[in-house]
Amino acid sequence: MRPGNLTQDFLRRFMENKLALLGGALVLALFVVSFLAPWLAPHNPNYIDVKAILIGPSSNHLFGTDHLGRDVLSRMIWGSRISLKVGFVAVGIATLIGVVLGALAGYYGGLVDSSIMRFVDLMLCFPAFFLILAVIAILEPSIWNIMIVIGVTGWMGVARLVRAEFLTLKTREFVQAARVLGASDLRIIFVHILPNALAPVLVSATLGVAGAILTESALSFLGIGVQPPTPSWGNILTAGKDNISIAWWLSLYPGLAILITVLGYNLLGEGVRDALDPRLKE
Amino acid sequence: MLLYLFKRIILMIPLLIGITIISFAVIHLAPGKPTDMSTMMNPKASLEAKKRLEQLYGLDKPLHIQYWNWFKRLVVLDFGRSFSPDRELVLNKIARRLPITILISVLSMVLIFIVAIPIGILSATRRNSLFDKITTVFVFIGFATPTFWLALLMMILFGVNLGWLPISGLKSLEYENFTFWGQIWDRTAHLIMPVLLSAFGGLAGMSRYMRSNMLEVIRQDYITTARAKGVSERMVIYKHALRNALMPVITILGLSVPGLIGGSVIFESIFAIPGMGQLFYSSVMSRDYPVVMGGLVIGAILTLAGNLLADISYALADPRIREGRS
């Protein structure tokens, strides 16, 4: 089969799946909103207006204002940038670590494999949220540290996945052919096998973005993630909690934004998986 | 069976040692020293005082010696003392809070089990029905919902607007004045929202998992055989299929322990519940390193215990493993 056919098949199956398209559209919307934030936001997200503290939704402030009189909609629009960044950087780090360790374990087998996989088992023993909190306790809470920590504690699934792919792929004829031709181990791993194992990695990365966004928002909500005045959906919700009995709008809208974004990435990820391998779809 | 159990426990020892190494490394490889907090905050702390403090905690020794000293004490369950002003034993601190978190986790596991299993069975046996479609939508939304946000919404609705449920703590201030039944209700009411929220993420996952298990099992030959010999559909589903579809669920329940414990940080701090999660969070915020290290170790041990319990239940349920008792 020519590669063109596979791509076309993939695209056709993807386009036929309405939920996958919805997911794609939601993710696209996140990109558009965060790139166009300066033009879309009706107000300056950090402008403090002491005369407009905790005002409910109105035509001037569609989603109301927070405890410092800042416009919630504008803060949410700017906050989308955080979610976008966290998703990409944290999952990028996790994927990189997972792919390298999984590839080494699957390709070399033996002692390399068992030591890497025992390390994976070990990392999975820790409640992820405990580990993340402990590391953040030491580092300063900042957007970069958050992304690194989420990445460094989230690579185990990818490693298992890549290892499994390598275990089957390394016995294939094209790998033997490459070896006969004198290709080095590194070349076989990264040039010959890895491209064939990337599809499931892509799917798990897309689903991983959803998880990373949820984790970041929870950390920011607890006050150890993105620090104010930088707006993030999680830290707007902190203000929502502090004013829970008087300002429902502070709690409702940012959470909805998280839900919709995470839903988008999940639908997109599942859609890509079903389109890559229709047999997986029950 | 006993031999099997013994083997499983022996295999855990290297993991336990690994857990202590990681918990130690996380705290000690980072820049800065645990004593920085108390010395930097205090302008009167001289260089000499700083040295003395480091000596007190053994921070002046090489890392592997520090680890070895800490590990030797861990083996006899000595986690050291908290940095907090009361200098309480870390073990006591954790022991006081752990039962609350375990209670909530067990209750939410039970809830997940009794709600998600029937949903999974129904959506598998009535595949593509309206019920199946509605639950699928709910599952997707469930996966995407931040638990802490749902907690806020429930607090607004049931706590603030309707006033049905209390929104913080484990009992009311006037608890002592209640009658016996009043006290029981008071305790229950305080647990409803935390347990629901702790179970929430698992509900979506488990019903989805049960559905695909069931679909998988129904396709097997022995189900066709059962149907062919004229067993009623009810019997086929609830006896032949269900038993087999439930097996992997046991493992998943065991694997859900770290998620439940990690999640306790979030809902315990929202609902002001004095459990393990809240302790861990407040120790992180005040950089109380002995408690943080102790919490990491205990959290990981609980995970191992959850896995072990799942393995034991699995062995009890599966004759192929159970038979190996001789």
Q: A136: distance to nearest CA of chain B, Å?
A: 8
pLDDT of residue B28: 77
What is the pLDDT at residue B170? 79
Looking at A128-132, A181-185, B32-36, which range is the least confident one?
Answer: B32-36
Identify the three-state secondary structure at position B89.
strand
pLDDT above 90 (res A143): no
- Given this model, what pLDDT does residue A114 score? 93
Q: Is B230 helix (H, G, I), strand (E, B) or coil?
A: coil
CATH classification (class only), A7-35+60-280: mainly alpha
pLDDT digits (tens, 9 = 90+) for A14-42: 888 888 899 999 999 999 999 998 998 88
- For residue B285 the two structure tokens come to 């915020």
Domains annotated on chain B, with CATH: 2-75 (no CATH), 99-322 (1.10.3720.10)
Report the distance separating Cα B277 and Cα B145, nearest Å.
20
Does position A2 have pLDDT exceeding 60, yes or no? Answer: no
With CB atoms and an 8 Å threshold, state whether B146 touches A252: no
SS3 annotation, A218-246: HHHHCCCCCCCCCCCHHHHHHHHHHCCCC
In this complex, do A266 and B304 lie within 8 Å of one another by their Cβ atoms?
no
Q: Distance (Å) from the C-alpha of residue B16 to the closest C-alpha of chain A?
A: 9
User: What phi and psi values does residue A227 have, to the nearest 5 degrees?
Assistant: -90, 135
- Condensed to tens digits (0 to 9), the pLDDT of residues A48-91 reads 888 878 888 888 888 988 888 899 899 999 999 998 999 999 99
Please tell me the distance in Å from B180's CA to the nearest CA on chain A.
Answer: 31
Nearest Cα neighbor of A198 from A170, A173, A162 is: A162
Residues in A touching B140 (Cβ below 8 Å): 263, 266-267
Interchain pair B153, A251: CB under 8 A: yes
Residue A123 sits at the chain B interface (C-beta within 8 Å): yes
What's chain A's average pLDDT? 88
Cα maximum dimension of chain A: 76
Count Cβ atoms below 10 Å from residue A203 Cβ, excluding itself: 22
List the helix and strand counts (H, then E) for chain A. 13, 0
B19 interface with A at CB cutoff 8 Å: yes
Q: What angle do CA B14, B294, B26 make, to 5 degrees?
A: 70
Q: What is residue A264's predicted lDDT score, i.e. its pLDDT? A: 95
Domain ranges of chain A: 7-35+60-280
Instruction: Return d(Cα A39, Cα B315) in angstroms, integer.
Output: 61
Contact A99, A164 (CB under 8 A): no
State how far residue A264 is from chain B, nearest Cα, in angstroms: 9
Q: To the nearest whole angstrom, how far is the Cα of A96 from the nearest Cα of chain B?
A: 21
Average pLDDT over residues A150-175: 92
Q: What is the spatial distance between Cα B63 and Cα B259, in angstroms, rounded to a whole number?
A: 31
pLDDT, one tens digit for every residue, chain B (326 residues): 777 788 888 888 888 888 888 888 887 776 666 566 555 556 566 677 767 767 766 667 777 888 888 888 888 778 878 877 777 888 888 989 999 999 999 999 999 989 999 999 999 888 888 998 899 888 889 889 999 999 999 988 888 888 888 877 777 777 777 888 888 888 888 888 999 988 888 888 889 889 988 888 888 888 888 888 888 888 888 888 888 888 888 888 888 888 888 888 888 988 889 999 999 998 888 888 888 888 999 999 888 888 888 888 888 887 777 666 43
Q: Could you say which of A136, A255, A263 has the minimum Cβ distance to residue B140? A: A263
Model pTM above 0.80: yes
Q: Given CB atoms, is A137 within the 8 Å cutoff of chain B? A: yes
Distance from CA of B171 to the nearest CA of A (A): 20
The angle, 0 to 180 degrees and rounded to 10, between the axes of the packed helices A72-108 and A110-125 is 150
Please report the number of interchain residue pairs, chain A to chain B, with beta-carbon separation below 8 angstroms: 138
Q: Which residues of B touch A125 (CB under 8 A)?
A: 15, 18-19, 258, 300, 303-304
Interface predicted TM-score of the whole assembly (ipTM), two decimals = 0.86
pLDDT category of residue A282 using cuts at 50, 70 and 90: very low
State yes or no: pLDDT of A273 exceeds 50.
Answer: yes
Cross-chain Cβ contact A133/B280 below 8 Å: yes
Question: Inter-chain contact A259–B141, Cβ cutoff 8 Å?
Answer: yes
| Cβ–Cβ gap B19/A138 under 8 Å | no
A129 touches chain B (CB under 8 A): yes
Query: Least CB-CB distance to B284: which of A119, A133, A262?
Result: A133
